[in-house]
Structure 1
Amino acid sequence: MNENKRLVEEAFSHIKSVETSIVVEMIEKELQALNKKIIVLDDDPTGVQTVHGISVYTDWTEDSIEKGFAEENSMFFILTNSRGFTAAETEKAHQEIAANIVKVAKKTNQDFTIISRGDSTLRGHYPLETKVLKETVEANSSVKFDGEVIIPFFKEGGRFTIDNVHYVQMDEYLVPAGKTEFAKDRTFGYTKSHLGEYAEEKSQGEYKAENMTYITLESLRNLDIETIEQQLLAVENFNKVIVNAVDYVDVKIFVIALVRAMNKGKNFMFRSAAALTKVIGGVPDKALLTREELVKEDSNHGGLVIIGSHVKKTTEQLEELKTSDALEFIEFNVHLVLEPEEFQRELDRVVQETNRFIREGKNVAVYTRRERLDLGEGKKEEELKLSVQISDAVTSIVKRLEVKPNFIIAKGGITSSDIGTKGLEVQRATVAGQVRPGIPVWTTGSESKFPGMTYVIFPGNVGTKTDLREVAEMLSNK
């Protein structure tokens, strides 16, 4: 651990060595020369956790994509929610998305770049998603992809890449991603923390770590932009580009070289966390949202917190939330999903109590039973299908709300996606900003069940132990 701590301190000590004002000036100039619409495909709604004033579309029809292309903003998001899909569903969705993007791009005569925004702890349908996007775009257009950029750095969540190894911050230490609970994910597990080895492992050896291109912190901090640009210009055959980063300045320096390479004809696919989207989309910093910005019309109704995620951090935050006297609590026994009639009765009970509390002006937190449903070895797909049934039930709580809550907080990526799209029926939302670092807020569109509502999307694996309680209490105070 001491060696780990030294590594962290050493990496962060270099930050001061870069004159950030020069970098800001350079990147602004380069982004003005990037004449492409940036389309971010988000595998759950937490990918907007670094941006504001950006649209999120919850479907990928030609009509929605055309609206995105018509916006003044250079970037828009499409929420795929594919982390909750089977592999077959993911493949089908990404074929449809890529084909529709190509159609709209031809119709509007615009160039585009696709970013596949995945989890900063490396879970998700990778490399399936970017492989399908590449193949579909290439089959339907003259575009050919030279390489794939992998950049899971996400400062707000404590995810850093140092010497090509990806780390997850836990208290004062950085733990290699492959040694965390996330790497043991039953659906998306992996063993390697070195990103080149991770990409080799996930591609089942199709791409070799030794042949990949590595963008080092040393090159970035030395502002060696020409060398990085030359590295990018040499990439071919969809080989992987691994980007090290411990601060936003690293991403900015990389993007300067990247745009120069792209403007010389290189095409890249991207698998990134949320930091790259903020930088390449030219989204400026914004202060954390206040209660006044979030709850503009206090009603006499209570607010609603729904907790679905089962990662350790969420469970710790739930235990802390339970110490608050600002909320009532309802446990939803989702293990009854194996007994359909009992499950329906349990759901009806939860819906009835939730409506009663909100109508009475009480804030309520509904949480799923904490023990994970385990069907045993070799049952990954069956478990994923059951988790979809559970998520549908959780979503129906919002769908069956009879009164408009003062606010809604959803904890967990898949949970928040389903509540947003199916429960609140959002087709297009605007990202208002963040209520805490890495915790985004949507303002729901006019077409939704509750228009103009504050909807806090709280990722399962983000936030301090007290963040969930503090955000819930802030929104609850009248």
Structure 2
Amino acid sequence: MNPAGHASPDAAGTLSGTLPSWLAPQATDPALLGQLRNGNGRCRLVVLDDDPTGMQTLYGIPVVLQWQQGEIRAALQQDWPAVYILTNSRSMDAATAAATVRDVMRRLVTAAQELGLQLRVVSRSDSTLRGHYPLETDVMAEELSDVHPVAGTLLVPAFIEGGRVTHGGVHYLIENGTPVPVGQTEYARDPAFPYRASSLPDWVEEKTGGRVPAAQVPVLPLHLLREGGPTAVAAWLQRLPVPFVAAADAVCQGDLEAIALGARLAEAAGVNVLFRTAASMVRALAGLEDCGPLPPARLTSARSRAGGLCVVGSFVSRSSEQLTQLLALPDVHATELDVGRILGGETAAEVTRVAAELNAQLGQGRHVVLYTSRQLHTGHSADRSLDIGRQVSTALTDAVRQLKVEPGFLIAKGGITSHNVALHGLNVHVAQVLGQALAGVPVWTLGPETPFPGLPYIVFPGNVGGPSSLVELFAALQAQRQATPDAP
């Protein structure tokens, strides 16, 4: 199945099909990956993620959702390839996002100092350029200033598995085998995080309100990192005036690995880089190989005899396309959460109705799709639009919190939805990233603090997959349940 819906990653970790020559395959270098894995044992790679879908390329790492009771310190005590801290700040207004990131950073710095560890911190955000930039990287750099001073920020939004690439400083989304400048896609019209520019230097100028002019945002070109490798990348970074904001071309995983090792070499020379990236760059920084998708047997409950549950909250057009196909499957019970009732003050009654329906249908062994009505409600401002999204997501979460029946499998569609379902609906403190259900679709294992310990939790991003990706995954899980003894 192709992760972008049209162009497929090949074995070299790039994209193939009817594409420009600059997207030609470039193999990854196993020796380079080995150098990335064999880093300083007293250094921790820590990723602050503004959305729960950002573990899209990883496995064998913890993701911390609650950090008030020493969870960060406990995660740092083990030498994981990376530690994810989920801020979910993309769902917040700017002031709340800044306060949340500052709180996490202060706890992180304190824990690292107490444990005698160094930090390598990454800001993981959206591959289609939505989110609180430059607010988050500004706060992170400020909080690191006394312990790990940052020379500058490097923007690497390429997400290879999802068909997002950068070339000539322009960020693209691969659609129908054609690179489309991201400023021309629906994501640039996001009501909370709109923008116009596809060129990363122009985007920086736009998002900083002119504080950082485009002319002062250098771009690491593809030819330099491919011809010169990590050494050339390190030299390029060391030549930049401090403090800098820069961007990097990347069209395949091998490009990202060269950037990662180059940054490591620059760090050894005293140039500490704060990355603002998508998920593929984190896999490179952690030195992890591609492990491929997990088999359906790893994605279902070993205990439950109930039906599976898919919760769909995302309103992007791709999610709605996928939902339409999902609801057309036989033997699937559709449960619609009425957004109009939620916004009209009838939240409690609507949640009670939905929760009762979920428990009844799952308990009878039926597979259920819980989804929000598809009319998009936006506010008069970006903050009001975010607030509407929170209201709707909270209602979904409240319905999940009233589950009395463990689902045979569990999918959450959309970033804000999957975070709130995990944190508030399932009381997740720390989960483990098991791998991917599909390219770009992470799977967590729920911890002992949750009502369903060990249950795989599939976090399906709103903007990932082709029109049939969700229905194909759901159908595979249905088939797995039918083939499992004593399962429905």
Normalised by the shorter chain, which TM-score bucket? over 0.9
Range 284-293 or range 451-460, more displaced: 284-293
Between the two proteins, the alignment pairs up a number of residues equal to: 464
Aligned pairs for 1:15-94 (under 5 A) are 15-16=25-26, 20=28, 23-35=29-41, 36-61=43-68, 63-94=70-101
Q: Does 1:248 align with 2:253?
A: yes
**C-alpha contact (below 8 Å) 2:378/2:385 kept by paired residues:** yes
**C-alpha contact (below 8 Å) 1:62/1:101 kept by paired residues:** no
Higher helix share: 1
**C-alpha contact (below 8 Å) 1:34/1:263 kept by paired residues:** no
Q: Please, which runs of 5 or more residues in structure 1 have no aligned partner?
A: none
Aligned pairs for 1:15-414 (under 5 A) are 15-16=25-26, 20=28, 23-35=29-41, 36-61=43-68, 63-138=70-145, 141-295=146-300, 297=302, 299-340=304-345, 342-375=346-379, 377=380, 379-414=381-416
Q: Does 1:459 align with 2:464?
A: no
Deviation track 1:432-474 (CA, whole Å, cap 9, x = no partner) reads 1111100011110111121000111000000111111111111
Shift of 1:406: 0.8
Match in the other structure for 2:10: none
Query: TM-score, normalised to structure 2's length?
Result: 0.92
Question: Which amino acid in structure 2 is aligned with residue 26 of structure 1?
Answer: L
Q: Distance in 2 between matches of 1:227 and 1:404?
A: 53
Range 26-35 or range 278-287, more displaced: 26-35
Shift of 1:364: 0.3
Shift of 1:7: 9.9
Query: SS of the residue aligned with 2:376?
Result: coil
Q: Distance in 1 between matches of 2:372 and 2:382?
A: 20
Range 343-352 or range 387-396, more displaced: 343-352
Match in the other structure for 2:418: 416
Query: SS of the residue aligned with 1:223?
Result: helix
**C-alpha contact (below 8 Å) 1:444/1:454 kept by paired residues:** yes
Q: Distance in 1 between matches of 2:18 and 2:272?
A: 34
Query: TM-score, normalised to structure 1's length?
Result: 0.94
Q: Distance in 2 between matches of 1:7 and 1:144?
A: 44
Question: Which amino acid in structure 2 is aligned with residue 318 of structure 1?
Answer: L
Q: Distance in 2 between matches of 1:42 and 1:403?
A: 30
Q: Distance in 2 between matches of 1:142 and 1:441?
A: 34
Q: Distance in 2 between matches of 1:279 and 1:62?
A: 30
Cα–Cα, structure 1 residues 218 and 326, in superposed 2: closer, same or farther, change >3 Å?
Answer: farther
Match in the other structure for 2:21: 10
**Cα RMSD, aligned residues only:** 1.7
Q: Distance in 1 between matches of 2:252 and 2:147?
A: 36
Shift of 1:290: 0.9
Q: Distance in 1 between matches of 2:69 and 2:350?
A: 40
Shift of 1:174: 1.6
Query: SS of the residue aligned with 1:191?
Result: coil
Q: Distance in 1 between matches of 2:307 and 2:36?
A: 47
Q: Distance in 1 between matches of 2:402 and 2:153?
A: 43
**C-alpha contact (below 8 Å) 1:294/1:454 kept by paired residues:** yes
Shift of 1:102: 1.3
Stretches of 4+ moved more than 6 A in 1? none
Shift of 1:236: 3.6
Aligned pairs for 1:410-449 (under 5 A) are 410-449=412-451
Deviation track 1:374-426 (CA, whole Å, cap 9, x = no partner) reads 33x4x322232222121111001110001111111000000000001111111
Query: SS of the residue aligned with 2:228?
Result: coil
Shift of 1:31: 4.2
Query: SS of the residue aligned with 1:365?
Result: strand
Q: Distance in 2 between matches of 1:172 and 1:424?
A: 39
**C-alpha contact (below 8 Å) 1:337/1:386 kept by paired residues:** no
Q: Distance in 2 between matches of 1:99 and 1:425?
A: 24
**C-alpha contact (below 8 Å) 2:18/2:177 kept by paired residues:** no
Shift of 1:367: 0.8
Q: Distance in 1 between matches of 2:69 and 2:114?
A: 11
Q: Distance in 2 between matches of 1:82 and 1:454?
A: 24
